[in-house]
Each structure stands twice: as C-alpha cells, then as structure tokens.
Structure 1
C-alpha cells in the first residue's frame, strides 16, 4: 500500500513538471488536464479506457441492418474520462430530433432560470381592508405554472382566510398576461401540419388545461343523464338532452365512439408515439359485450363544445346511455384563466368568504396605488422538468418553452424570445451552433426542427460539467426502470444504468443520454434516425445502448 502511494506521488510530480510543455504543444484544454490527473490519482491510466474496437462494434450493428438503406442518421459518442469523441458517424448532419428537442428546452431552463427556480402564482389585492372586508378587487396572477390545480387553489383560499379576509366587495380577476396571447403550439411554431394537438399554453392554467366530463346514467329509462366536471368551475355549463336508454336500446357503445370526430387516439399515437395524447374519447366502465346484432343502430353519447357570449364554455350532451353506466370524456379548456378564476371564486364562497362581484380576466395594473401582494404559491422548476424529460410530456415542454421566453426576453412574443434564449445559452457554453440549426417549439412536435447529433451530445457533455448536472441527469428516463424507457434494454448491462431522452415521430426515432461503463467511464451518446422504419430504429438504439454498456 505504501509503495503504491509513493509511485502515485512520483507520477503526479512528473506529470506536473511535464504538463505545461506537452499541453502547450498539443493545445489540449484544461479540462483534459483535469481528466488526465483524475485518471492517475484514481489509479487508472488513460490507456485503461480502451475503446479501440468500438468503431467495429457499432458498425457491425449498423451495416448489417437493411432498414438503414434509405435512412438519414447520425451517431456521436463521447468519453467523459478521455474528454474526446470516440465514435462519430454523420455527426454533423442536420436531422429532425423529435422529442430530444426537450433536452434543449430543459437545458435552457436550468441554465437561465436556475436549477432551483420557483414558478410563482401570486395573489394581489387592489383595494383596502377594513374590518376583515376587502373593499376592492382580488387578483390571481399566473406566472406560467403548467400544473397549477384545484388543490393549489384550495391552498390559496386557506391563505386568504388566514390573512383575515372574510368578505370581498369587488371582483375576482385572473391575470394571464405573463405569456403572450398565442396559446396554440401549432400556430407559434409556424408548422404546416399539426402532428399532435397540445392543450393551450397559458400563464394561468388549471389541471393542465384539460377538463374531464363525467357522464353518469341512473336506473330509470328516459331520465336525463348526470354531467359533472373535473375541475369543477362555474365557468363550465351544460345543455343536456341525453337520456338513460330503455332496455331495448341497451347495447355496447364502443363501436359508436368514432362518431366523435376527436376520438381517434391511435391515429394520434402513430404520429407521435413518445408521449401519450390527451384522450378525448370516452372511457368505458362496466360495459358488457353484446352480439353483432345488438350493435346495430347503437345509441351513444355525443359531446360538442362552444364558447358562450358570457365567456363560459358550454358542453352539449346528446344521445343516450345504458343504465347504471359512467363514461368520461376529456376536452381542452378554451379559456383556462377564466376557469381557474371562477374556480377560485367558487371555493372562496364555499369557504365562507362572501364575494359580491364577478369572476373575470383582467391584467393587474402594476402602478395601482392600493396594489399589494398578500400570498405567493410557488412551484419548483424540477416538478416540471422531470416529467417533461422522463415521460416526454409535450404540454409541459411547451409551457417551459414559453416560460423561458417570458423570463429571458419579451412577453409579447414568448416563442421568438425562447428561440433566442436557446441560442444564447448554447453560446454561453461555447457550443458550436451549426448553420440552419432550428428549434421552432419546445417539445419536438415540429418536423422542421433541425439539429446534429454532435450538438445534441455536446449539450449533454456541457450539462454533465455544469452546476445542474445531477438535476438534468435525474430527469432522464432509466432503461428498464421508468419513463419512456421502462420496457427497453431489460436484462442487460444497460438496465438501470443507461439514462436517456427518447424521441419519436412518424418518421423519426432518437435517443440521447449517459451510460456508465464497466471501466468506470461515463459515455455520452446521441443517436438520431430519420426515415420510415421507426420500430427498427428503436431496436438499433437498444443494441447500441447495450454495446456501450458492455465496455
């Protein structure tokens, strides 16, 4: 043991005497010096990290696969210990990354907002309080929290009660002005086709801007069905003509669900297989299978929706439903800020606080004389980033994209500001931006997004050397364990080892992340395939991941 220690010390002394000359001659970066020193101190030499046959191992997988004949693809692999690229194939080729776009979005969030940034939803009053009565208005000001929900509203109501307010002689306003007015990803991305719909992206949201409609039938034929909403809000209203079906009408509703023009879940999944879409079709509960004869002239529930002049969203429920059945449908909320504000007013009243005014949306006047912040509900940014990457949540990614733009630039055009923030962040980390690099959105649904595998892997190398390294690494799905990689690379060295972000479109498959080797190295990798054989590309990604894990 003592002898080994003396040898290490001699090696270190020799290294420090020699390094200034050799590194100056070869222009190796300071990071390389650190890696070399680290290897020697740990008892390993650079030669111990032998990747001499990695090119052959990877090429054997690629060249035997006929599905790559008409495929554009790029591969890049980087050794953190050697501080160099150990494999590249078309690494500078511009390709569509699909959901690996989310890595750029979340990297920008961590870099510009901070690894422990909190999204604030603020409660302001504009008025005066006398004898527990607010004479004036109360404002719910959204700060871009995409998972703000009914439980959070209940927390806010409790805070308002604790503040001592028992009556509000004024209105309840929702301020949605932190983001711009373009709430549709399809529009601000500039795309020509909509790969998959996403709920409205708003500064003041509620339950991910999705309303669940629960339709329940009773026992008596001819009676009206019952309709409830989640979240419950007086901003929703119904027009119900649907009734409980008679005995002769009772049959399986499943075949008729296609009457709703929004029910083709599988078609949406085929277009964007990485993240499940919103289910707008009915989900059946306790429905008995019937014969083909009974399925003729099937009664069904049809739901349509529109906005009324008073700002409420009305749902029209028609058709018939079997006795003692419950179906759920999901739709996007058209005016989330108004729904959230109305829900706040409803719960204030339920909690015993009198409200004399209305619920509406309005921007808080920052120069108002009687304006006062009375409570802040905050959400840690990691509560958004983890499901964005691990489960490839498109809605959350787009919310982060807008948030990046609003915080770092101009609220008047969050998407344009976010694109600038992306590029400025890459420059900050000295990452070379290729010509024609383009990110139109935050989720990767845009088919016009173009990056290179080298840039994608370089982003992960930069993240690994950053102050938020652990945070971003922890947000990735783990092979064979969770997220979008839960069922992949099981019973291999990659299982519970490889951490990565997946990407899937109809003509795209991608995988990028980290893997620990048996040699004690961490490899950073990026694979992007553009072509018609997405299933085959997934299998190739699995093979490549397993090969890397075997080193």
Structure 2
C-alpha cells in the first residue's frame, strides 16, 4: 500500500473523528497497514465505530453486511437478559415432596427440580440433602426420586444433537438443561505409564468402570495430549452400572486432569444422589426417573445461584459458552408458551427487544445465544445499536462491568498490552475457525467513549486480529 494512500485513509478517518457529522468509509492507516500481511480483503470486514454522544459520525465499513459474530453474540444475550430477567434474577434448584414425612419416611417420590441453576455443584447438592436429614428428619426415600428438567423444552436437548465439532465431551461444548448438575461434567485424572492408560473419576460415585485398554500409547508431548484423542463411549449396563471406554491416542508417561461431559447426565445424577444420600445415613428405594413435579408439591430445600449480573462475568470475560446458552434458555423460559422450544422462545424475546428499541433486525439469525455456532448472523450496525441501547438503558453499568479489559483480564488479558487501550477498552471478543470479532467500549484521549464493533469473516480471519487491535489502539489515541 502506497504512502499516499495511507495518508489519505488516515485523513479520511480523522475527519470522521473530528466531531463533524461525517462518516468515514475506510479503515484508518494503522489498521490498513496491519491488515496488509493478512491477505484479508476489506469486503470480509464489518466495522462500526462512533462516539456515544455522536452516533451519526465515526467509521462505517460494510456496516450492514451480515456476519458471523462468534462470541460477540454473547453481548446480545447479556444485554437482553439484563433487561428482561433483571440483574438480580437467580436460577434455583429445589427438593420437593407432595406427601408427608412420617417417622422419617417419605412414601411419595422426592422431586429434584432444576430451574436453570448455574451453580449447582456436588457440594451444593450434598448440602440440600443434608437439610432434608437435619431439618426435616427425613431418613427413608421409599418412593424413589423424580428428576424434573421440564423448565426448558426439550428437557434433554443434548440427545440426538450432532456435536458442534469433533470434541463434544469438552466443557465448552456442553449443551445445558434445566438441571445443570456440576455443569454436566465429571473430573477425570488420566495417566499413562509405559504400557497402559488408566483414568479415575473424581468424585467417585460408584457404579462406573473406566476402560482404557483400547487407547494407543504414542510418543508425544504431554501438552499435546488432545492430538489423537477421540470422544469416549459410555454405555449403561443391564445391572444399572456404567462403562466408559476411552478411545484414541494418549502420550506415554503423561498425566492430566480434565473435566469431561462423557456420562449420561441422568445416570450421573442418579449415582450422585444415591451415594450422597447414603453418606448422610439415608436409604433410597425405588427408581430414580425423569418426570414432572406434582401439583401442590412443597419445597423442602432450595439452592440458588449467583445473581445474573455476577453470572455474566464469566460469560463475558471468559467467554463461557455453556453458561451463555443456559442464560439464553432462561430468557426463553421466562416467556415460553406451553410446550414451546425454549431456544426458539428466547429468539422471539430477543427480536421483540430489538423492536422495542427500534433496532432493525433484518437478516438477524439467532441460534443458541453463545456464538458457538455456524449459523448465527448479525451486522456490525445491529450489534453497535445493541451496545448503544444498553449504555442508554438502566443496566449499562452492569454490562460494562462484565466485559474483558484490554491487557488486564479475561480473553483480552494478553492483547493490546502497551497500547493506549490497555486498562481502558472494555470489549467482548469472538473467535471461531473463520471469524474474529471485537465489540465494546473504547475511551479516547479526550475522555469520550466510543462504541466499536469489528467483525471479520474470512479463511484468514485470525491473521486479521492485529489489524483489529490496531484499530482499537488508534481510536484510544485520538
């Protein structure tokens, strides 16, 4: 790119930054220069940047072109959730009963009901069960247990759904349901000596055999253990026990600890209930099955997760896909008609929110609300409008507090260090194989805050990341 063209591009963009009611249609010089070695054409970039107090000025490049937003889609989920559910809304898990407890015995089923609780882990479940023992004197669960996941529809959304990629067992790929027990994950300590691979679950709930005999030992660095790894196979046996068969390759002499989503979640919940209840001196007879809570059932114990505004911090700062999807379904559950798909209902709520804020939703494609999908589409203009509406609304400060800070934390902890944006720009990142994105708020040198959205969709999108960072630094310096 010639020096004359770089100067022209810089002057064009600086005119847009001067506060006059004009729009720059080309990237600024530093961004253009950083983009040059990437091989990414301008046609693959959607860009909007403007000061909050002058949204009709700034920069626009392919602003109305539909793009894959990757994880910047989480910003839409967060903004709508804050507005529609409220920053203090909380999911819960309940233990209910319709019958009476007599002499420490419950003859009707105990109900474990999931209400989108994001924080229900093993200790939380144990504490709820302990409350049954100590506060209610319950000892015998003679009627079995019903697990109620029906807040979300379908209640078992993971069944029969093709994996997003070849690693459905890893935490980022978990498809949540209303009973998100321990994130539907179990931790495994996996180790290999010179001849065999072994794996131990933690906690060990019993009834599970892990077979590593099919794994092939290879000479590979332990840090690259995922290379050659294949999803394990889980089978429920006739006696109710389970067998997990590890598959693929594993490095000799390697030891790792990894949380995996490899067991049927209903089976795992049942094993956890039986062992935790037994550890408290209780007995459980009858089956553990899926079902619905009976009318009139009373709450015996309850666990609640953190307020939504706090849950959104890992969603935005760490880009937690499973948590984003759970919150998206909570949006849907808040407005769903009987039997309506929770994810579809959430999409309906988001579109209604767009209409309320007079944001054109033409072309908007919604899927799971996390960006971990190939079909979601949004324009840079639409995403910028969402951020502007959030800033002007009641919950702008809550959103701002959730965003990664450039060079400081979250998914931006290693980016833009030593630039004018470090410690100042707050932005949601997005990364897929062929998509790179940033969306958020950038203060300039005069103290004006800018909304900036940059979406790159290209086979070489990752190579364009330095150019996107150069844009943020350039705006912060103006």
Please report the TM-score for the alignment, with normalisation by the length of structure 2.
Answer: 0.83
Unpaired runs of 5+ residues, structure 2, are 1-16
> Residue 413 of structure 1 is aligned with which of 341, 345, 358?
341
1:352 paired to 2:281 = yes
Within 2, Cα distance between the matches of 1:183 and 1:134? 28
Are the aligned partners of 2:199 and 2:212 in contact in 1 as well (CA < 8 Å)? no
Q: Determine helix, strand or coil for the equivalent of 1:94.
A: coil
1:469 paired to 2:396 = yes
Within 2, Cα distance between the matches of 1:497 and 1:464? 16
Unpaired runs of 5+ residues, structure 1, are 1-48, 244-248, 266-279, 282-301
Based on CA coordinates, which of the two structures has the bigger radius of gyration?
1
Match of 2:28 in 1: 59
**Superposed displacement of residue 55, structure 1:** 4.3
Written as runs of structure 1 = structure 2, the 5 A alignment for 1:44-123 is 50-51=18-19, 55=24, 58-64=27-33, 65-66=35-36, 67-69=39-41, 71-123=43-95
Report the number of matched residues.
Answer: 450
> Residue 298 of structure 2 is aligned with which of 365, 368, 372?
372
Match of 1:384 in 2: 311
Are the aligned partners of 2:233 and 2:262 in contact in 1 as well (CA < 8 Å)? no
> Residue 139 of structure 1 is aligned with which of 111, 135, 146?
111
> Residue 452 of structure 1 is aligned with which of 379, 394, 401?
379
Pair 240,490 (structure 1): closer, same or farther in 2 beyond 3 Å = closer
Please report the TM-score for the alignment, with normalisation by the length of structure 1.
Answer: 0.72
Match of 2:144 in 1: 171
Match of 1:271 in 2: none
**Superposed displacement of residue 495, structure 1:** 0.6
Are the aligned partners of 1:502 and 1:511 in contact in 2 as well (CA < 8 Å)? yes
Match of 1:212 in 2: 187
Within 2, Cα distance between the matches of 1:51 and 1:454? 19
Within 2, Cα distance between the matches of 1:319 and 1:334? 18
Q: Determine helix, strand or coil for the equivalent of 1:118.
A: coil
Q: Determine helix, strand or coil for the equivalent of 1:438.
A: coil
Are the aligned partners of 2:441 and 2:450 in contact in 1 as well (CA < 8 Å)? yes
**Superposed displacement of residue 543, structure 1:** 0.5
Match of 2:208 in 1: 237
Deviates more, 1:160-169 or 1:463-472: 160-169
1:362 paired to 2:291 = yes
Pair 227,544 (structure 1): closer, same or farther in 2 beyond 3 Å = closer
Aligned-residue CA RMSD in angstroms?
Answer: 3.6
> Residue 441 of structure 2 is aligned with which of 508, 514, 520?
514
Within 1, Cα distance between the matches of 2:105 and 2:325? 40
Are the aligned partners of 2:43 and 2:62 in contact in 1 as well (CA < 8 Å)? no
**Superposed displacement of residue 346, structure 1:** 1.5
Within 2, Cα distance between the matches of 1:498 and 1:187? 41
Match of 1:287 in 2: none
**Superposed displacement of residue 523, structure 1:** 0.9
Written as runs of structure 1 = structure 2, the 5 A alignment for 1:286-305 is 304-305=233-234
**Superposed displacement of residue 460, structure 1:** 0.6
> Residue 359 of structure 2 is aligned with which of 428, 431, 453?
431
What do the CA deviations read for 1:310-348 (whole angstroms, capped 9, x no partner)? Answer: 665421369999999855455424432442243133212
